Amino acid sequence: MVTSSPQRCAYCEYPIEPEDRWVREKIYESAPSSNGPSYFRYHADLFVGEEISCWEKHLMELEITRATAWAA
């Protein structure tokens, strides 16, 4: 399936170009009327000057949120 609009990274919001490596995160909707899962996409490769990818940054934020919620 080809779409006319480029996908955007859910972390940095920059377009994900066809030649870019990316990761897709499946999001399950809790509403009974939803048409199935939706997806967030993240850059898997590093940008110049970066030490970790958008995907890794996202995972780190999730871990910090979980650790903070668990400690509270």
Q: How far apart are CA 15 and CA 23, in angstroms?
A: 13
DSSP states of 3-70 as a string?
-SSPEEBTTT--EE-TTS-EEEEEE---STT--S-EEEEEE-SPPTT-SS-HHHHHHHHHHHHHHHHH
Give the tens place of pLDDT for each residue, 55-64.
999 999 999 9
Q: Using one digit for the tens of pLDDT, what is the confidence trace for 10-36?
A: 999 999 999 999 999 998 876 666 677
Does the pTM exceed 0.85? no
Question: 43 — phi, psi (to 5°)?
Answer: -65, 135
